[in-house]
Structure 1
Amino acid sequence: MASGQTQYYGLSQWEAADKVERVDFNSDNAKIDGALKAMRDLIVSPSVLNAVLDKLRSDINALSARVDKLEGK
């Protein structure tokens, strides 16, 4: 079993005399998998981002037209 852990994710760190066990690797892989998923969940896909930008452009154009109408332009 690992005698130490990394600072940020608590991943296994072995000393030369430590017994290496599969459970340590499985635990580390689960932590890494969870961290990668959390990062992926924060990323917005380009298609979603483009849809949001298109909607914002449309809303801005509509507001601009309303302002122009109110100002008699």
Structure 2
Amino acid sequence: MNLVEMKSGDRAVIKMLPEGEAAQRLEALGLRSGKEIEKISCMPFGGPVTVMLEGRHFAVSHSIAEHIEIEKADSL
């Protein structure tokens, strides 16, 4: 499952980030494999996805969020 497919309000653990510069930027923000996040919202029409990590909110572009693989925290 990817971040876009996740429902708002659900928690998940990041399993895999996209490769390249996008991964470097996400990791600089603290978004790394193994970190638990909560999806706050997803804007319509391909807008950004907002997530919360350790009490901080981040907006991730829709195209990058499609490449962030997650596993729902409830299934762990």
TM-score if structure 1 supplies the norm length?
0.24
- Structure with higher Rg: it is 1
Which structure dedicates a bigger proportion of its chain to strand? 2
Which structure dedicates a bigger proportion of its chain to helix? 1
TM-score if structure 2 supplies the norm length?
0.23
Higher relative contact order (CA 8 A, sep 6+): 2
